[in-house]
Chain A
Amino acid sequence: MTAVIDNTSPAPAMVPLLSDLSSVSGRRRNKNMVMTVLMGVSVVVVGFVLLLVLITVVRKGWSIVVSEFPKWFTKDIQLSPRRAGPGMKAAIVGTIVATATATVIAVPLGIAGAIYLNEYGKRSAFARTLRFLTNVMAGVPSIVMGLFIYVFWVVPRGVDGLNAFSGALALACLMLPIVVRSTEEMLRLVPQNLRDASLALGATASRTTLTVVIPKAAPGIISGSLLAIARAAGETAPLIFTVGAAKATNWNPFSGTNTSLSLQIYANAKESFPTAQERAWGAALTLIALAFLFTFGARALSGRLSRTTES
């Protein structure tokens, strides 16, 4: 790949220091500065919006989470939304169970699909179709995923079909395209010469993929999977049709109705009572904190892993 360089400007006689741009024409220097500032501004803008959202959530949700601490995390949800009192354990457990189950289904499947696309299928007609279909799947609205699982999985099972596993299936459908597409992008960027070197040393294709390509792409794969998990944990629409409306804690994904933080946010926000409104924001705060802790932990872990493999 050749870098496109502005040929109109005079070529410097000597190689300039990286920071020394004095020999560059004013127009180019200005453009460089404007673009750099714009990049910085992008970060600030998104940071500002995030701060506004977080302030709203913390201000409205903080008091119920910490009042009578740690009851918010250890007690089941109030049966009647108009009654005061903490308790969101059932939803915290439900979110963890459904999201974890969905992750177990979608992430291995998605990574396998991406490996096929990038390492075997490549530009074949099937691989191209698959890539195309994955993009299409990413655009299927979450509520349609929910309806699909409802029609296809819940209805044949009747009341017993309302459980965390059904919800996890819908969430897995949402996660799958994100995992596949992001993983494939990361695999594609692993330099070909690494593969060639491994193959030349006599390793099989599968061994090369598992021991050379995947570790190299791991940080990116984890990033993509985390995006998918975060998306799943925050989804409401697919769960409305699939998990039921429990208010008591249920650790079993395969049996019994369940609930989730996202469902509790939506359901409580629809109630006019101040107690319910507070509960909705408390659940939002909990969900954001939970998801962020998890994301942060996974990143720290992957950072340490990649450092140990490198050294």
Chain B
Amino acid sequence: MNIPRKRLGAVVSVLAISLIGAACSSSSTTTAGTTAGTTAAGNTTTSAAAGMDYSKLDGKIVGSGATFPKSFYDEAIANLAGIAPKLTVEYGGGGSGKGRSDLQEQVVDFAGTDGVVKPEDIAKFKGGDFVYVPTVIAPITLSYNLPSVKTLQLSPATIAGIYQLKITKWNDAAIAADNPGVTLPATTIVAARRADGSGTTDNFTKFLKASVGTDAGGTWALGSGSTVEWPAGTQAGDGNTGVAQIVSTTEGAIGYVDLSDAKANKLSFAAIKNKAGKFVMPTLEATSAAAEGATIKDDLTFFLGWADGDASYPIAAQTWIIAYTKQADPVKAANIRGFLTYLLNEGQTLAPTIDYAPLPETLRMKAIANIAKIGG
């Protein structure tokens, strides 16, 4: 890459705040500017800068993996194509597991993943060390189809009851207790879930496990994972679209669907009770609020669900792009850095327009610092 390695940290962060400010005023707090300058991230001069000349990027990079951020990446790739006409970025989706095994076998240049690689698997990655670059976050909604109910509130225990088929009618006492003053119909509940293994299921069940898991003295006994042993009475749909389709066509149905798909299918969704005991709607602001409180590890991995804070929405998904630090081809390395730089700068302003939440500023700065390690 031809960009001079200057100390751009402060410049970048100021620029970024102005970029994101409009989109999520509540999320980018004043700490961002100072953190970037003082942390290790700020000191390891960021070569990836907002003022990058994308038109110099030339060639092709191929990625696969998580499907949750795919429509964000696709839109970003389409926009990037306008300013980097010689660069081709392909992102094939296929799931986090596929992405990781593709990267492990070096069949792709970068991989998207919603989860963290297990410590025992790290050594299997043929290309050596890799870095996590968080790109975007988003809430997972509980969408429902009850024409007569305009607003719905659900607590984690109620959700656990519904998905374990302990609560089968919408006018169940548990749901009524969550919704004082709301007239609930006697409709049978159809609990919709994913047919395919999915990061969305993983994050949803992690939230249930953390909030009302049997370990925590609650009622959620199915554990967590990309697939759990759903009771046979639940209905399965392929992908977020499949679940959304069940919800939109079945009166009385409820399903966990990421915000962008829920909105695309015009579904109504519930406010969920968070750790502080407040019912919060799945908005981008509430997701960013959850991210503000999240514990970010040194490798930039974190979990957003069941976060502290009055304004935090409790069910959220996070996603990363992972790429090898050692790159044989400097041109390819520059292309990967260029794409990631775009995602973490221009992409962050794009995100809220398509129902994804941008990263909090501190995290974004650390992510940008990680980009520099690729091929560096």
- What is the interface of chain A, defined by CB distance below 8 A to chain B? 78-83, 150, 154-155, 158-159, 161-162, 240-241, 244-248, 256-257, 267, 269-273
Contacts and interface: CB of A to CB of B under 8 A. Distances in A.
B75 A270 contact: no
B91 A82 contact: no
A39 B172 CA distance: 54
Given A270-B67, A272-B240, A159 B74 contact: no
22 contacts: A80-B74, A80-B78, A82-B74, A159-B106, A159-B109, A162-B62, A241-B98, A244-B90, A244-B92, A245-B64, A245-B90, A245-B93, A246-B90, A247-B90, A257-B60, A257-B62, A267-B93, A269-B241, A270-B67, A270-B238, A272-B261, A273-B264
Contacts of B315: none
A79 B60 CA distance: 14
Contacts of A245: 62, 64, 90-93
5 nearest A-B residue pairs (beta carbon):
A245-B92, A79-B78, A272-B264, A80-B78, A80-B74
B253 to A, nearest CB: 16
A159 to B, nearest CB: 6
Interface string B78-107: 100100000010111110001000000111
A308 B238 CA distance: 51
A267 B239 CA distance: 10
Given A150-B107, A159-B109, A162-B62, 10 more contacts: A78-B78, A158-B105, A244-B62, A245-B91, A256-B60, A257-B62, A270-B67, A270-B238, A272-B260, A273-B71
Contacts of B260: 272
A83 B353 CA distance: 14
Contacts of A81: 71, 74
Nearest to B265: A272
B94 A240 contact: yes
B177 interface: no
A159 B109 CA distance: 7
Given A82-B75, A248-B88, A270-B241, A154 B264 contact: no
Contacts, number: 70
B71 A82 contact: yes
Q: Describe A's contact surface by its main secondary structure.
A: loop
A270 B64 contact: no
A261 to B, nearest CB: 16
Contacts of A244: 62, 90, 92
Given A158-B106, A245-B64, A79 B77 contact: yes
A155 B75 contact: no
A76 B229 CA distance: 42
Contact of B241 (A158, A257, A271): A271
Contacts of B241: 269-272
A130 B77 CA distance: 49
A194 to B, nearest CB: 51
B203 to A, nearest CB: 18
A162 B60 CA distance: 13
Interface residues of B, number: 33
B354 interface: yes
Nearest to B106: A158
A256 B88 CA distance: 12
B78 A83 contact: yes
Nearest to B63: A245
A88 B107 CA distance: 25
B108 interface: yes
B90 A257 contact: yes
A87 to B, nearest CB: 12
B244 interface: yes
Contact of A80 (B71, B98, B107): B71
A247 B91 CA distance: 10
Nearest to A277: B241
Nearest to A267: B93
A240 B93 CA distance: 10
B265 A155 contact: no
B71 A158 contact: no
A150 B101 CA distance: 11
Nearest to A157: B107
Nearest to A151: B105
A241 to B, nearest CB: 8
A155 B74 contact: no
Contacts of B92: 244-245
